[in-house]
């Protein structure tokens, strides 16, 4: 069974979001510190899997090959920085498709769980939107983390999250807290959601 898995949203968490969507590698801009954060997670035995809605496919804004190219370049950048993304699970659908994989539905995480036999109860999902937090809850992840990059500030106003930790202002500070608390995630009394400020 695969333990210590961190699921990450992509746009607004790893790279800067755009109201016009990310349609090419030229439009993909890493959020400062995200490459180092992945490296630090990996160095401390955390497995990173990306869970992302990419409706650009069914909106006919990007081809499957185009999306795969973006992800290939992203993974290469992480590798050059000393980190690794184990896998990327994405939903190509638009909301009207009513699929079971578009967040907040849990399909992508469940697909990852079946692929790698992941211990979801001891996993973490980090994202910048209400959809990410609800996806984590719907899938049965042990914890969900709302970050204030991307849409996180607006999501924070909507979600009623009991915060265990807050106001950690940099990505690496978040990871440095996560690592020594890895054993803490398994405690039933600590189940739930909390948020960090990754800025």
Token output for 19:
């109201």
Catalytic residue among 9, 128, 132, 197: 9
- How many CA atoms lie less than 13 Å away from 1 in the CB half-sphere? 8
Closest CA to 46 of 134, 175, 144, 139: 175
Would you call 184 helix, strand, or coil by DSSP?
helix
Q: Is 65 among the residues known to form the active site?
A: no
How many angstroms separate the CA atoms of 52 and 24, rounded?
Answer: 16
Q: Is 87 among the residues known to form the active site?
A: no
Vertex 12: Cα angle to 38 and 129 (nearest 5): 110
53: left (phi over 0), alpha (psi -120 to 50) or beta: beta
Catalytic residue IDs: 9, 11
């Amino acid at each position: 069974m695969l333990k210590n898995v961190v699921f990450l949203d992509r746009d607004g968490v790893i790279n800067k979001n755009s109201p016009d969507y990310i349609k090419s590698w030229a439009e993909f801009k890493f959020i400062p510190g995200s490459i180092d954060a992945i490296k630090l997670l990996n160095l401390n035995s955390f497995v990173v899997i990306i869970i992302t809605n990419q409706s650009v496919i069914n909106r006919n804004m990007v081809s499957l090959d185009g999306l795969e190219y973006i992800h290939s370049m992203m993974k290469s950048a992480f590798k050059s920085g000393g980190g690794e993304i184990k896998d990327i699970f994405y939903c190509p659908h638009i909301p009207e498709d009513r699929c079971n994989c578009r967040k907040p539905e849990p399909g992508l995480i469940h697909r990852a769980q079946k692929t790698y036999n992941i211990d979801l109860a001891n996993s973490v999902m980090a994202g910048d939107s209400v959809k990410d937090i609800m996806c984590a809850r719907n899938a049965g992840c042990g914890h969900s983390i709302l970050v204030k990059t991307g849409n996180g500030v607006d999501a924070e106003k909507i979600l009623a999250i009991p915060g265990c930790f807050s106001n950690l202002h940099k990505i690496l500070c978040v990871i440095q807290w996560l690592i020594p608390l890895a054993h803490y995630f398994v405690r039933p009394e600590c189940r739930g959601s909390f948020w960090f400020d990754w800025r």
